[in-house]
Structure 1
């Protein structure tokens, strides 16, 4: 569950008739869950002292809404410590307030109403665990991620000589494995969202990017599938508005391009998906979930087919180490496809499992385990990575068993 950060900017203590005030809760830099912010409500607690006792109310303005509350909490501690007076029967004894309020906006204002005048005391902002870049048309993009997506796209972050050498070694190993095990191969690089929909991105593309550097390093004979143009020219939107990943339709486009790069006939592949049906559903997405309140957009999900009916086994691990095996006797090609993939591979399964009779997908982000390849002897070997990962080349001598053992141990230790 995402944690959201609370940022506060407090005004001066003296505001109109107010001589002192304090906010016990929330505090700046505190975190809160989405359930707290929108369900039970964020708790506001504090006190307000006036130069002369008078009726007042506490308000919170959030978005288009204004919530008003009466101060009804006795605060003898404030009377004793701040005013240095006896609290018994003091005219400002009930100077405290405490109330939960579900918020509808990332920005809010806390203040006091007295004699129909508004006196702001504090400005607040709710931010997600990661910054999200807002582009044109409400499109969302990654901002301060660990791969420095913005710097990559603008050309400020480029590959050093060592990284280039690592990529050359990795691609040479992939070619060698394909030759050794006599299988067709492909390196599938899922384009970044901003490379496909540059018109919505708030930054201009640099003269040279890390992806372009990798493309220049591709040796003769290596089958690299980088379907950026096909995704750009897609008849339907190929990426999700509030997510980093391609849409189901984009996954279909990528599956077609991958199959064609592996030597299959385009017309035969496209015919498999010609009658697919989609349904419109509002989805938040991994970027929309990082905002407060969470941002959603209508997306078209495939409703006429699901790869889950073809799943033979699934070890259920999260991310790295997860292994899925699929079988479909009705597939176009009765051959075995092995994928060392990343997150973008999962949405492609709805389409790939209708092309290939057997599929083994291992979540390794393109890292190759040669022992697994030797054991499975695939007809097609695909390594899938995401364009934003190219700052570090994948590992061609990866141990899937080691990562599965480590993840499984963590899962067992977490059980009661």
Structure 2
């Protein structure tokens, strides 16, 4: 959370990170880490005042050096001694649903807002493994409750797979088309997951109904023997290692045996999207790709999530073909391997929904429709219009970059194969 407020004659800029950990008795501990200052004068508020519903008041005074904040706000160096201790840090324990936050300046308290206690978003398993919870797809329930499919769910997925078969038949040049589901961590790490598995979880019902459809690929059996490296403790998605195992198994399914880049990795420590939500933050080692990749990114429309298009060109490919992947966040890890293998990789963020017009434009030899296990609760659409989605995102400034979209787009010159993408991508200031 961050913002700026006119308080007590000052324009106070602030940024707050809130971590938390649930206690056995139902209370929660919150780790508040923030900075506050007036970047024009270097003034720092006297205190951050937290008032619990039960009346408890906690007063945090500035005591933490935050040089990063001074640099971010471009504070003149002459003001650094005055503003250096602009950081506030403290732990709050409460069973209340919310607590009020105020900023105290010159003895006067000014309301900043309310921090609400949300639902659990991380489940702690055994041996330090963290799992996604509180998501809109209710991942824990997908694992721990028996799933009874409704007629609309079955009909929706049947329509999707029928559309996939139609795409394969009507698009010339497609040699292989795969529907790939990235497994949830708990599926391959059930023995450390804190919930008891259902007899008929959603994934088992899905595999029973659709697992024999042409092109269906479920990589959990490939990942399970290497699960400690295929996933990491603090991240939702698979690692570069897990994504590569999946890609290699898919190439084998397609009877492709290209020369492989060296299977080199470096160990990196990070908190991940799950570890970052804990208090204190939990860090984990993960194997990150370190193999040579001659591919070059030649296009990115910078649309945020759905509608994003990226294109890589590889001058020395092991497979002289174009591959398209209509995927989600997990596909980013796959592209690190696929772009080192194929001559051209077009990655489109649609969570597994194809765009026939885009396929017709690229005429790829191989197509991957990638989604994630937790998204199987809702049938995917048969098709989408990616350029229309991207146009809406870009015009609303929903971008993966800060600053000028037009300036960032200048890096893409009309190289062979991206002319249409440039023509159909709006450019905004």
Scaled by the length of structure 2, what TM-score is found?
A: 0.67
Distance 1:321 1:366 in 2: 12
Question: Does the aligned pair in 1 maintain the 2:129–2:234 contact within 8 Å?
Answer: yes
Q: Which residue of 1 aligns with 2:260?
A: 272
1:177 aligns with 2:164: no
Distance 1:339 1:42 in 2: 53
- The within-5 A match list for 1:15-414 is 34-36=33-35, 43-45=47-49, 101-103=88-90, 107=93, 131-182=121-172, 183=174, 184-218=176-210, 222-234=214-226, 237-265=229-257, 268=258, 272-273=260-261, 275-305=262-292, 309-411=295-397
| Structure 1 position 284, deviation (Å) | 0.9
- Gapped runs of 5+ residues in structure 2? 2-15, 22-26, 37-43, 52-56, 64-85, 96-114, 405-428
Q: 1:324 to 1:412 in 2, by over 3 A?
A: closer
Q: C-alpha offsets along residues 281-315 of structure 1, whole Å, 9 cap, x if unaligned?
A: 211111112223322112222223357x5211111
Q: C-alpha offsets along residues 355-409 of structure 1, whole Å, 9 cap, x if unaligned?
A: 2211111000011111111222111111000000000111112111221011011
Q: 1:178 to 1:34 in 2, by over 3 A?
A: farther
Q: Which has the larger radius of gyration?
A: 1
Q: 1:235 to 1:219 in 2, by over 3 A?
A: closer
3-state secondary structure, aligned to 1:35: strand
Q: 1:130 to 1:236 in 2, by over 3 A?
A: closer
- Gapped runs of 5+ residues in structure 1? 8-27, 48-57, 62-66, 68-98, 110-124
3-state secondary structure, aligned to 1:199: helix
3-state secondary structure, aligned to 1:395: coil
Match of 1:4 among 7, 18, 22: 18
Distance 1:262 1:215 in 2: 20
Q: C-alpha offsets along residues 258-287 of structure 1, whole Å, 9 cap, x if unaligned?
A: 22223323xx4xx614x3322222111111
| Structure 1 position 197, deviation (Å) | 1.1
3-state secondary structure, aligned to 2:232: coil
Q: C-alpha offsets along residues 6-26 of structure 1, whole Å, 9 cap, x if unaligned?
A: 99xxxxxxxxxxxxxxxxxxx
Distance 1:364 1:42 in 2: 48
3-state secondary structure, aligned to 2:286: strand
Scaled by the length of structure 1, what TM-score is found?
A: 0.69
| Structure 1 position 236, deviation (Å) | 5.5
Q: What is the RMSD computed on CA atoms of the aligned residues?
A: 3.8
Distance 2:124 2:300 in 1: 36
Distance 2:211 2:271 in 1: 40
Question: Does the aligned pair in 2 maintain the 1:186–1:261 contact within 8 Å?
Answer: no
Distance 2:224 2:31 in 1: 39
3-state secondary structure, aligned to 2:312: strand
Question: Does the aligned pair in 2 maintain the 1:106–1:293 contact within 8 Å?
Answer: no
Q: 1:106 to 1:393 in 2, by over 3 A?
A: farther
User: Aligned residues, how many?
Assistant: 327
Q: 1:337 to 1:41 in 2, by over 3 A?
A: farther
